[in-house]
């Protein structure tokens, strides 16, 4: 008798766990040729609220860790991703219809990108913080602090693009709620499995799957979300509506790119500094 394959169930990733959608609904994910790949959970407004609550709960502990320790955790994600390289190559080939060689290039680049950001964890403060010269007997020191909970509309690049927008957010002490690429959501959930089996605390990264046009407005208008990254928004009208919704509580907004970036390029420091706040402290020098 022929063996029956065990099909993978792609769930959401919220608070370090993998729940099904609150509604029980799912949607079909197709490959590059329009063939059925799998069913993915279709996140609802309540799932989005739960993800924001998990991110907020995780924020004090995560932002309170030393920068060096956050770098160690992000490096550990790279280690686990490296050990599952073949799996990710196969998933990219299956979902995007690309060659194994090209898929391998993107998986390797994703691992390297995580290592690159891990190295910046305890250095970014020295680069963007400083002691300011003042006329008086005072120390005047400016240092960066994380913004808080950041909502992310992930780009179409299902692995390297996702890593490139999430890694700089979490390595600087923020927590994230990610709307996975609607076209290629499966790799995002597999990446969540990597995060869940590394040292990343539950709730630091939360991943939702489903139609971007449904989920993103809930996050943009959520009053406990401090910033939103529109990296994966390709529709100009949707991008404008999300910016308007984000203005309700003065969120930081990283605007949608004019065109799909080349994720293989070395990123700019703005990927980290866009979601950092600057705190300036005055302290008397004394006599």
Task: Please provide the average confidence, as pLDDT, over all residues in the chain.
Answer: 93
d(CA 9, CA 11) in angstroms, rounded, equals 6
Q: What mean pLDDT is predicted for residues 83-91?
A: 96
pLDDT band at 155 (very low <50, low <70, confident <90, very high): very high
- 8 found inside a domain: no
Q: What mean pLDDT is predicted for residues 23-46?
A: 92
Q: What mean pLDDT is predicted for residues 75-98?
A: 95
Q: The domain that contains 173 carries what CATH number?
A: 3.40.605.10
Q: What mean pLDDT is predicted for residues 177-202?
A: 95
Domain that holds residue 149: 26-284
Burial of 252 (0-12, 13-18, 19+ CB in 10 A): middle
Task: Give whole-number Cα distances, 89 to 82, 181, 201, 265, 270, in Å.
Answer: 11, 17, 26, 20, 29
The answer to whether 21 and 12 have CB atoms below 8 angstroms apart is yes
15-24, 33-42, 125-134: segment of lowest average pLDDT = 125-134
- 220 found inside a domain: yes
Of 165, 181, 180, 187, the closest CA to residue 263 belongs to 165
d(CA 189, CA 148) in angstroms, rounded, equals 23
Burial of 45 (0-12, 13-18, 19+ CB in 10 A): middle
pLDDT band at 4 (very low <50, low <70, confident <90, very high): confident
pLDDT band at 287 (very low <50, low <70, confident <90, very high): low
Percent of the chain exceeding pLDDT 70 equals 99
Other C-beta atoms closer than 10 Å to the C-beta of 90 total: 12
User: pTM for the complete prediction?
Assistant: 0.93
pLDDT band at 168 (very low <50, low <70, confident <90, very high): very high
- 159 found inside a domain: yes
- 7 found inside a domain: no
Q: What mean pLDDT is predicted for residues 81-107?
A: 94
Q: Read off φ and ψ for residue 250, nearest 5 degrees.
A: 55, 45
Residue 45: is its pLDDT beyond 80? Answer: yes
- 273 found inside a domain: yes
- 21 found inside a domain: no
Q: Identify the pLDDT of residue 65.
A: 97
- Choice between 141 and 246, residue whose per-residue pLDDT is larger: 246
Angle of helix 186-196 versus helix 160-171 axis, rounded to 10:
40
- Give first-to-last CA distance, the chain, whole Å: 88
How many domains does the chain fold into? 1
The answer to whether 120 and 270 have CB atoms below 8 angstroms apart is no
- 219 found inside a domain: yes
């Amino acid at each position: 008798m022929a063996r029956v394959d065990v099909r993978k169930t792609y769930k959401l990733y919220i608070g370090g766990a993998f729940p099904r959608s609150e509604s029980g609904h799912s949607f079909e994910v197709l490959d590059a040729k329009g063939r059925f790949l799998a069913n993915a959970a279709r996140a609802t407004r309540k799932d989005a609220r739960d993800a924001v609550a998990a991110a907020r709960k995780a924020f004090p502990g995560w932002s309170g860790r030393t920068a060096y320790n956050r770098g160690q955790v992000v490096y550990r994600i790279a280690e686990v991703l490296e050990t599952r390289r073949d799996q990710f190559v196969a998933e990219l080939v299956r979902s995007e219809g690309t060659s194994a060689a090209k898929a391998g290039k993107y998986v390797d680049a994703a691992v390297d990108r995580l290592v690159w950001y891990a190295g910046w964890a305890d250095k970014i403060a020295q680069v963007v913080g400083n002691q300011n010269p003042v006329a008086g007997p005072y120390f005047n020191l400016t240092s960066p602090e994380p913004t808080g909970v950041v909502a992310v509309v992930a780009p179409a690049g299902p692995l390297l693009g996702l890593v490139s927008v999430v890694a700089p957010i979490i390595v600087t002490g923020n927590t994230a709620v990610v709307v996975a690429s609607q076209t290629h959501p499966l790799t995002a959930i597999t990446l969540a499995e990597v995060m869940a089996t590394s040292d990343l605390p539950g709730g630091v990264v939360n991943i939702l799957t489903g139609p971007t046009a449904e989920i993103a407005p809930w996050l943009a208008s959520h009053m406990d979300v401090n910033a939103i990254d529109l990296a994966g928004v390709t529709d100009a009208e949707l991008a404008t509506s999300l910016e308007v919704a984000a203005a309700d509580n003065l969120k930081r907004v990283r605007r949608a790119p004019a065109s799909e970036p080349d994720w293989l390029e070395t990123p700019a420091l703005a990927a980290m500094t866009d979601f950092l706040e600057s705190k300036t402290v005055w302290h008397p020098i004394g006599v």
